Structure 1
């Protein structure tokens, strides 16, 4: 089942895509190319829902981009993790020159530039940087976490200094018999708690007391490839693995997953809760599929739905509300299950992200450089909001 939206093609291969978090009016995403033979580019893409149109702003980026971490509040600031030939991956905080827009807010399909602000370098204890996470709880946004294969490191960012200094380095060891390192990490939006995928296991690391795991899931998957915290119910995490499964866990009770989804036929590379409606959930993988799931039974909307239903029976306007729901959503409420699948991709999909400006829009990128922007189907949207 296909969904509304648009497709945009890059000139090079790509693995990383992130929403421009500091942009609250337009649905915009950063996409980075990954070509070790040719100069690369950081693309800022804008999606106009009224015209189903993608416009872009390209920024030269010499080396292959491995990961992107947009600033949580400043639209012109972004960190890229990149790889120079014969060197370990490192990161840089960049400041973009403001791209020009037309009268309606669309980008002008032009080329811009950016300047390096702070460099984040590997060290003896952090041999390479694979990803960067911004501290979601700090209003100053001056602290980031670098993920390496066998360690995590906290860096304090000071734009007055050319390089950031690691304030804390946390070694991370696999709890199984293999030497597999940290493949993914997610920062709890309400605490100094990092969920990491290490081999087959999930380890929760409290940054205040990092010497022992805050929680462990010894055999979450054959190999954990992606992880995400629910932004509204932070005790809930989602994991995806090489076994093709997506599992949801309550970190307060880890005897078994609270839900399991098996709609992918190969490795799952990315999982993502919707920031506003946590009953909406994205996943994508090596089967070229981007799946939109409804997981209302384990979301914050489950309890709210019970309260609302009880209130509706007592409210004087409940009949009008029910009539509107019948007209637009077929007299049905959201239930668990696969809402739709985007079939725009013909190669492995490595990233799928929700728009920071509109909770009904999401984007994805496949290895062949194809970017697809899709919308939550209208009938399912009305089931949620009516």
Structure 2
């Protein structure tokens, strides 16, 4: 389904490609963005959505040296974040702290509390320990993986271990497994590499070139989603790496980024150089899951592409779900346009009688709902436990 966004917008002064949810802010729905100007002093914007959801409030605007190519928020301190930056042939990565009085007009600028300065090649990204208060973070350059120990009280970071990916692999990014804190997935020009941080060794790989970005499914173990040069996304089962379990071609040019929802396991965002953001409901098939042919119904299965937001004027490189309000996501196009969008939630609890498969109930309801709501964008999240007498069906409308 094609459509424009009905979100409120916020314009940055310069071009930009980085946006991150402020995970540690439990009182507000807020995001950090960083600009990418070659000639001007760059900026970091702290943006909050008003309690009524009708306004975007700039809570802080800070100068930042050099072009910002990656930005990640600290999961346990809302005032701390990391950036990867470069200018010409120079590059760097650092951890920053927002000043306490950032809401005042005369507030001081960002404080650089640690430099990740052990790299000898171009840095691609930083990854924070997935959740909670932990002192570890990872930085990735074109050839190497670094594990850092970060001390907030002493305001310094030290290399705990490092390893080279080899001269034949040019690393481009990565993601930290939220189900196994010792595991990372790294993207390179020729493959997706799976690493164990305890040994700092590669444990497996997906020989699949031209993956731009990837993300783990927070709610579904062993599930990895990749953004493909071939104009779509792939979903992988890490126990069966020969082929993807789901291939979703939905972009007309390179897919640059992909993000899994932090709460609803089947909701996925993707964006790319076709100036579109796609919202998916993508559930990997299982051997015991009935198909639409299992039931006597003329209706077609629900299209996994729920909506394609196409009113951007430039490539979309930045996507972020809100962890605090997981029905809200934000997009950032290269021309500096930031748009948050909200998915409203309707809950239905159908009764599952004895002898009726819960997945059968799900399929039948989806078929009925698709007829009623054929003109609307909707996503469905379904879960059922054998020990409970009812299944829960959640329908989200964009």
Q: For this pair of structures, how many residues does the alignment match?
A: 341
**Aligned alpha-carbon RMSD (Å):** 2.8
SS at match of 1:264: coil
More helix by share: 1
- Report the Cα offset of residue 49 of structure 1: 6.5
Unmatched runs of 5 consecutive residues or more in structure 2: 291-298, 346-375, 382-392
Q: Work out which structure has the larger RCO, using CA pairs closer than 8 Å and 6 or more positions apart in sequence.
A: 1
Aligned to 1:251: 238
Aligned counterparts, 1:343-382, within 5 A: 343-376=310-343, 380=378
Residue pair 1:279, 1:298 contacting (<8 A) in 2 also? no
Matches within 5 A, 1:138-287: 139-161=132-154, 163-173=156-166, 179=168, 181-191=170-180, 192-211=182-201, 213-219=202-208, 221=209, 223-287=210-274
Structure 1: any 5+ residue segments left out of the alignment? 101-107, 306-331
**Distance in 2 between the 1:267 and 1:96 partners?**
38
1:64 aligns with: 67
The reply on whether 1:82 has 2:85 as its aligned counterpart is yes
State the alpha-carbon separation in 2 of the partners of residues 246 and 369 from structure 1: 24
Once the two structures are TM-superposed, the CA of residue 161 in structure 1 deviates from its matched residue by 4.2
Distance in 1, Cα, partners of 2:305 & 2:238:
24
In 1, Cα distance between the equivalents of 2:211 and 2:220? 21
Q: 1:129: Cα distance to partner?
A: 2.3
Which residue number in structure 2 is paired with residue 10 of structure 1? 12
Q: Tell me the CA shift for residue 79 of structure 1.
A: 1.2
Which residue of structure 2 aligns with residue 121 of structure 1?
117
Q: By how many angstroms is 1:144 displaced?
A: 0.5
1:221-258 Cα deviation digits (max 9, x unpaired): 4x110010111123100011222121010010112111
Per mean C-alpha deviation after superposition, the further-off stretch among 375-384 and 33-42 is 375-384
1:260-292 Cα offsets, whole Å, 9 max, x none, are 110101111110110000111000000000000
| 2:101/2:107 contact within 8 Å kept | no
CA distance in 1, matches of 2:223, 2:53: 37
- Residue 336 of structure 1 deviates from its aligned partner by 4.9
* C-alpha separation in 2, matches of 1:266 and 1:59: 34
TM (norm. structure 1) is 0.81
CA distance in 2, matches of 1:69, 1:109: 25
* Contact 2:10-2:338 at 8 Å conserved across structures: yes
Give the Cα separation in 2 of the matches to 1:50 and 1:113: 29
User: Which residue matches 1:21?
Assistant: 23
Residues 1:73 and 2:67 aligned together: no
- State the partner residue of 1:314: none
Once the two structures are overlaid, the 10-residue window that deviates more, 113-122 or 253-262, is: 113-122
Task: Give the aligned partner of residue 328 of structure 1.
Answer: none
- Name 1:318's counterpart in structure 2: none
CA distance in 1, matches of 2:311, 2:108: 28
Aligned to 2:13, the other structure's residue is in SS state coil
